[in-house]
Amino acid sequence: MSRPHPLLSFEVDASGQDTSPKHDDFDSDVRRSWYDYLPLCLLIFLLLAPYPSLLIVLANHYLLTLEKPVSFAIHLLITFTLGFLGFVSLMICVARDPGPVYFNASDQGSIHQREDMGLAEALMTMENTDNDCSPDKFCRKCWVPKPERAHHCSICGRCVLKMDHHCPWLGAKCIGHRTYPAFVHFLTCITAFSAYVSTISISAVRWSFNNPLLVPDQATPVHELLLAAAGVICTLVVGSFLVYHIYLITTNQTTVEALSPFLLLRYIPPLPASMKLSDPPMEEELSYNQRRAVRDAHRFVRMYDVGWRRNWAQVFGWSKPRGWIYLLLIGGTGNGDGRSFPRNPRSQEMLSHLAARLEKEA
């Protein structure tokens, strides 16, 4: 893993020219090896593997045996459409940056101008930045401003806006603000594809067992059984993952936030100086009872839950009523810039209760 690049570089040669390496992106990913893409290749293989057997089942059972060309065409259209939409979302997750962290939103269009910025100009710019660039909101690993809900990925070596998780199956990339809608769309398409294939395969297997003398090809029932088993397994595995992310969207959480209760310590009000804790306090500084209090509060405190309708609209970038349903079918993009999010109006009150309990358990 390469070392993080500093914000300011002072490397000069004998002629006084700046020899610092130029980077097109402050949040460029670390160099990946060929084996980092093996899980992605395996995923693509698993997505394509059912189609030969699926074509055999559709052609032999629905077209030749039952002589239902309309059913054959409908099943073929639905399965290939779901597969195509799933591949589109997969390519978006792999090719698109999950959410680069810049100094501010306007810097996204002026990265090259900032490369030649002098020290005095850089310091003057830092004075005019918003609260996201305050010293306590800098990432201590890659030294970039750390906006709200951004997290550092130790594998990618960078911070990601509204990071959800790091996924080795998607080319060893993170799922963040800009790719999370496509990721959910991918899970939805694969779950729907698996459930549909398993349904038509189970129906074909049942017919074959009830009418064994009418089956034209002995290999067709084998394909039907394999498709049915694979479809059921994939539906249960990917579908359970999809259900979990539906819960996260409904409560406006990320996987990191849902699995890390001590992230709440970032938001609690300042504690008395007599407790001798950092501001914000660190997990290792808390006693056992204080840690248990944080875990108990994590089950009820939803920092960004503003109602399930607004939560879904925020993720899929649609403000009209039930517009997220349309974007869930075709894929969408996140709403906002990924740097600031509306908070639950009751969160501050619950955090105050948590701070009081931490003080009591000290």
DSSP of 300-348, one letter per residue?
A: T--TT---HHHHHHHHHT--STTHHHHHHHH----SS-SS-----TTHH
Instruction: Please check the confidence at residue 101 and state whether its pLDDT lies above 50.
Output: yes
Tens digits of residue pLDDT in 227-286: 999 999 999 999 999 999 999 999 999 999 999 999 888 888 888 888 888 888 888 888
Q: Where are the beta strands (DSSP E) in 163-202?
A: 165-167, 173-175
Q: What pLDDT sits at residue 246? A: 96
188 against 4, higher pLDDT: 188
Structural domain spans, the chain: 258-360
Question: What's the distance, CA 174 to chain centroid?
Answer: 7
> Taking Cα atoms as reference points, which of 174, 147, 327 lies closest to residue 249?
327
* Tally of CB atoms within 10 A around 114: 15
Tens digits of residue pLDDT in 25-64: 444 446 778 888 999 999 999 999 999 999 999 999 988 8
- DSSP-assigned states of every residue in 30-99: PPPPGGGGHHHHHHHHHHHTHHHHHHHHIIIIIIIIS--HHHHHHHHHHHHHHHHHHHHHHHHHHHS-S-
The residue type found at 117 is M
pLDDT band at 85 (very low <50, low <70, confident <90, very high): very high
Q: What pLDDT sits at residue 319? A: 67
> Taking Cα atoms as reference points, which of 217, 202, 275 lies closest to residue 56?
217
